[in-house]
């Protein structure tokens, strides 16, 4: 079954919604305008229930099929928030908010799920209930976790859940997915080395924190090169190095380094945290100083369920004719929290030859709208076929 004709008809309207959201980006949980727009549209479509304020500013819409013989409930999720990036596209509908931009395509995700909701509300050609979920704060705020903690899954009896992300570099409207671990866990560390500051001409009278921290930057790479099995994925990146003095002739009292850890399994995640603390403690002791490591657990590994992944791939093939195997992705995705609560799957839809996500010249490709909307609608109609 190819792309639904109804979405070809709706593409212009959905594009208008998308570009309006793009022009008015909102960050993290401050998606008040976007959430209001989503709620207004869902009510306009005739959803059976529209609830705001889930996970602070999330929106949930409920659409009942023509029948409900099996009491099946499927969730479909899109993210709404933008990034703190200054847009450099020069588009007519570019961001009107300095320092905020839809640089990851969440405007497109939201618009496509709205398009699917409009179609499903019109046709209701399924046996069960669909719950459309519009989530804030995917970009580092953990909005998915907060919606789950608000009891979303139990409140609406969601049994399975599906999500989607656009992917630059893939042909427009094509799909890719993989079972099991897909997106990485995203943790952070903040390490302070304490020594004894002093004059740079008298290093023997100091305990040099710059030497400690410099050694640590290099030694932390051994977590990947010497502690992890070579077939396992782990990335340790130091991204900030800041001393307590910026003078050329002062050995600083403290040095702070920060960074991120990306892993694809619970075992690797626990090992990386343990080794980072051990390495820093050992280096500090070697040079006569101390270290203090604060380790922040971020998003967990996003794991696609096997059965739902196979189904999602079959749906993608019915829409686009093919579905590729996606690579492992070391970026994070807080849909992981929803997949920890319920079985489901997350898929990539091609955005074409565009700038990468999180780039100031990125723009969601509106030509992907019919494929994305069709996939979401077919998930519902094929998983809960009408009698």
Residue numbers in the known binding site for Mn(2+) are 104, 106, 139, 165, 358
Residue 54 and residue 148: Cα distance in Å, rounded?
9
Q: Which residues of 198-226 are buried (b: 16+ CB within 10 A; e: fewer)?
A: bebeeeeebbbbbbbbbbbeebbeebbee
Three-state helix/strand/coil letters over 292-341: EEEEEEEECCEEECHHHHHHHHHHHHHHHCCCEECCCECCCCCHHHHHHH
- Residues 25 and 100: beta-carbon distance below 8 Å: yes
- Residues 351 and 166: beta-carbon distance below 8 Å: yes
Q: DSSP label at 92?
A: T
- How deeply is 252 buried, as exposed, middle or buried, from its count of CB atoms within 10 A (0-12, 13-18, 19+)? buried
Q: DSSP label at 223?
A: I
* 169 closest CA partner among 23, 324, 311: 324
| DSSP notation for 240-258 | EEEES---TTEE-SEEEEE
CB atoms within 10 A of CB 154: 10
* Residues of the binding site: 104, 106, 139, 165, 358
- β-pairing, 185-194 vs 175-177, is unpaired
């Amino acid at each position: 079954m190819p792309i639904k004709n109804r979405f070809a008809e709706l593409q212009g309207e959905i594009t208008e919604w998308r570009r309006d959201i793009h022009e008015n980006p909102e960050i993290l949980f401050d998606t008040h305008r976007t959430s209001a727009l989503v709620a207004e549209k869902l009510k306009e479509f005739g959803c059976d229930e529209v609830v705001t304020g889930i996970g602070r500013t999330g929106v949930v819409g409920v659409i009942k099929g023509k029948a409900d013989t099996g009491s099946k409930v499927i969730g479909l999720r899109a993210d709404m928030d933008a990034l703190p990036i200054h847009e450099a596209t020069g588009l007519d509908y570019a961001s009107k908010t300095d320092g905020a931009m839809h640089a990851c395509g969440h405007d497109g995700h939201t618009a496509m799920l709205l398009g699917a909701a409009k179609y499903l509300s019109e046709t209701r050609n399924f046996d069960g209930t669909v719950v459309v979920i519009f989530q804030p704060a995917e970009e580092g705020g953990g909005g998915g976790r907060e919606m789950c903690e608000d009891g979303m899954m139990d409140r609406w009896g969601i049994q399975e859940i599906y999500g989607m992300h656009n992917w630059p570099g893939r042909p427009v409207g094509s799909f890719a997915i993989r079972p099991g671990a897909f997106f990485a866990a995203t943790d952070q560390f903040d390490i302070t080395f304490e020594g004894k500051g002093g004059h740079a001409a008298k290093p023997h009278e100091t305990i040099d924190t710059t030497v400690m921290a410099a050694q640590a930057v290099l030694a932390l790479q051994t977590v990947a090169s010497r502690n992890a099995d070579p077939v396992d994925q782990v990335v340790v990146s130091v991204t900030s190095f800041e001393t307590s003095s910026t003078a050329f002739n002062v050995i600083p009292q403290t040095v702070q380094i920060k960074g991120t850890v990306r892993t694809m399994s619970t075992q690797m995640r626990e090992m990386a945290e343990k080794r980072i603390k051990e390495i820093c403690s050992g280096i500090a002791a070697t040079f006569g100083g101390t270290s203090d490591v604060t380790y922040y657990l971020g998003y967990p590994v996003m794991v696609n369920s096997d059965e739902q992944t196979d189904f999602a791939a079959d749906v993608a093939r019915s829409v686009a004719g093919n579905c590729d195997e996606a690579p492992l992705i070391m970026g994070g995705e807080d849909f992981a929290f929803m997949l920890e609560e319920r079985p489901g799957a997350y898929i990539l839809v091609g955005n074409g030859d565009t700038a990468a996500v999180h780039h100031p010249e990125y723009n969601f490709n509106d030509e992907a709208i019919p494929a994305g909307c069709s996939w979401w609608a077919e998930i519902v109609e094929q998983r809960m076929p009408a009698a």
